[in-house]
Structure 1
Amino acid sequence: MKQTLLSFFVGSMILTSVAFAQEKKVAGRVVGADGKPLVGVTIVVKGSNQATQTDSNGNYSFSVPTGKIIVFKSLGYGEKTLIVKEGASTFNVTLEDSREELSEVVVVAYGTAKKESLTGSVSSIGAKDLEKRPVTNAFAALEGSAAGIQINNTSGMPGDEPSIRIRGFSSLNGSNDPLYVVDGVPFGGDISDINPNDVESISVLKDASSSALYGSRASNGVIIITTKKGKIGRSQVNVSTDQGFYSRGIAEYSRVNDRQFMEAMWTGYRNNLLSTNSKAYPTTELANAEASKSLISNYLKLNIYDKEDNKLFDENGKLVSDAQIKMDIVTI
């Protein structure tokens, strides 16, 4: 029995000494991509609760078993892992900026937030959605893109701005226009002056909880526009073209020339004299003569030919063959 206990005690001492022999002290410095030290970086031994943090100079130091993996973590930076091997005891690490994109970001007041983190009603469209719709006004892309937004084109004049109503009308006598905010600054100019190709995203704040930061000016809702900014990377040129065709909805009308027009007007005037004033013009000959005499003065008012008014037509209402259009009329 004594021999068994002695063997167990000796074995435990050997295992303990081996375990302590496997641990080693590691140290180093953690910096960012710009070479500046990072404060508060968490260094965790993977698979255990053992961890430490960097000090104000980016330095760290703690004991880690040989062969373990240590992980460097910091908000806004990508993770980095290292294996603790025999011999090496200094590990200087550079953490790169995190380039992960947020799932869906909307602009709120003076900053941004994830859409799912907001309690208010927010609708947003991005540059890719704008590119799909060939519009001349950035707000025309909002039409049909979100519930509760009404866009009405009040007139067809070029450059005229549409009226935008968010969840109906809120005032009978006051303005019902929403507050426009461009890159964090309230915008009071013409919205049609903003090029749709310069817009990165449009966010619409539709209720009181989401637009509370803007005060009473946001009583009719808020439309926030974020414009595009320069990005690091290769230069690129985007070219887009729009093309289409048009055709008449109905067949083309038959047209008359100047001589046919004059003769048709003469015939209509002569028939009017016969039907409405038969006592003064009981015969066709009298009506023909009166039509040739007073067609220009009573109806057409302008004689474009080089003949006198009463010498333009023959007795049958045909324009005389030698009548020519005046040169000054052609010049005009």
Structure 2
Amino acid sequence: MPTSAGKEGLFSLQNVPPDDILVVSFIGYQPKKIGPQDTQADIIVALSPDATQLEDVAIVSTGYQQLPKERATGSFAQVDNQLLNRRVSTNLVDRLEGVVPGLLFNRNTYDASTGGNDISVRGTSSIHAARSPLVVVDGFPYEGNLSSINPNDIENITVLKDAAAASIWGVRSGNGVIVVSTKKGKRNKKTEVAFTTNVTVGNKPDLY
């Protein structure tokens, strides 16, 4: 005898056999069974979140809000902490190179030859105006050099590639948006300590 709850969570069942078991379920929560002795009067059912299902939902950060992956519009690429740490480097730009599709690192330009970062999303978007994408760190535009951000402090990076980002960041998103989310503490979670080390192995030098 299935039924569904309304927007306020209220439901009712009539003519239920005395030996039946009530099962209440919802997406993202653990189902709960209620015995026959507890279904004879009004009851309040509280479900517990199912952590294994909630962790499977991919979250995309636009810099303004976080959305489930299926609700995010436009073209984007996401780099999580595990993918970011595959390449050993103290420079964030070096870790992103060759990892994000559509993120181009221009080497034969004046900015690149003078030690800067000439980065473009999906090629050149303007001839005379600035071509660098907008960098957003924890919801705020970042005007500094992308290389000065400590890669060990980053939780994930989302690259917004098309005009869908213009509804959030306006004309500044014409060259794409690089959204950087740093690591933060979480409520009701134990303290975690992360340690990162690099080891380089080389040949023994010939002193003679």
Residue 81 of structure 1 aligns with which residue?
33
Contact 2:134–2:172 (CA<8 Å) still a contact in 1? yes
Amino acid across the alignment from 2:196: S
Is the alpha carbon distance of 1:161 and 1:247 closer, same or farther for their aligned partners in structure 2, counting shifts above 3 Å? farther
In 1, the alpha carbon distance for the partners of 2:38 and 2:100 equals: 61
Over the aligned positions, Cα root-mean-square deviation in angstroms equals: 3.2
Contact 1:52–1:62 (CA<8 Å) still a contact in 2? no
Contact 1:109–1:211 (CA<8 Å) still a contact in 2? no
Matched, 1:144 2:98: yes
Contact 1:208–1:219 (CA<8 Å) still a contact in 2? yes
Q: TM-score, normalised by structure 2?
A: 0.77
Contact 1:66–1:86 (CA<8 Å) still a contact in 2? no
Amino acid across the alignment from 1:177: S
| Secondary structure, counterpart of 1:233 in structure 2 | coil
In 2, the alpha carbon distance for the partners of 1:206 and 1:101 equals: 25
Contact 2:3–2:11 (CA<8 Å) still a contact in 1? no
| Secondary structure, counterpart of 2:37 in structure 1 | coil
| Secondary structure, counterpart of 1:125 in structure 2 | strand
Is the alpha carbon distance of 1:108 and 1:102 closer, same or farther for their aligned partners in structure 2, counting shifts above 3 Å? farther
What is the aligned counterpart of 1:239 among 182, 195, 199?
A: 195
Residue 67 of structure 1 aligns with which residue?
19
Matched, 1:225 2:180: yes
Residue 169 of structure 2 aligns with which residue?
214
In 2, the alpha carbon distance for the partners of 1:51 and 1:120 equals: 34
Contact 2:63–2:138 (CA<8 Å) still a contact in 1? no
Q: Specify the structure having the higher radius of gyration (Cα).
A: 1
Deviations 1:54-112 (A, max 9, x none): 96xx7766433222232334576543221323896464433223432144322124222
> For 1:159-308, what aligned pairs fall within 5 Å after superposition?
160-231=115-186, 232-246=188-202
Amino acid across the alignment from 2:36: V
Residue 37 of structure 1 aligns with which residue?
none
Equivalent pairs, count: 200
In 2, the alpha carbon distance for the partners of 1:65 and 1:53 equals: 23
Deviation at 1:142, TM superposition (A): 1.9
Deviation at 1:143, TM superposition (A): 1.1
Amino acid across the alignment from 1:66: P
Structure ranking higher on relative contact order (CA contacts 8 Å, 6+ apart): 2
In 1, the alpha carbon distance for the partners of 2:198 and 2:144 equals: 28
Is the alpha carbon distance of 1:216 and 1:248 closer, same or farther for their aligned partners in structure 2, counting shifts above 3 Å? farther
Worse-superposed segment, 77-86 or 142-151: 77-86
Deviation at 1:233, TM superposition (A): 3.0
Percent identity over paired residues = 34
Contact 1:102–1:114 (CA<8 Å) still a contact in 2? no
In 2, the alpha carbon distance for the partners of 1:71 and 1:54 equals: 19
Contact 1:72–1:80 (CA<8 Å) still a contact in 2? yes
Is the alpha carbon distance of 1:181 and 1:61 closer, same or farther for their aligned partners in structure 2, counting shifts above 3 Å? same
In 2, the alpha carbon distance for the partners of 1:119 and 1:162 equals: 28
In 2, the alpha carbon distance for the partners of 1:171 and 1:87 equals: 68
Give the unaligned 5+ runs of structure 2: none
Amino acid across the alignment from 2:97: E
More helix by share: 1
| Secondary structure, counterpart of 1:219 in structure 2 | helix
Contact 1:77–1:96 (CA<8 Å) still a contact in 2? yes
| Secondary structure, counterpart of 2:46 in structure 1 | strand
Deviation at 1:226, TM superposition (A): 0.8
What is the aligned counterpart of 1:96 among 48, 66, 70?
A: 48
Worse-superposed segment, 185-194 or 122-131: 185-194
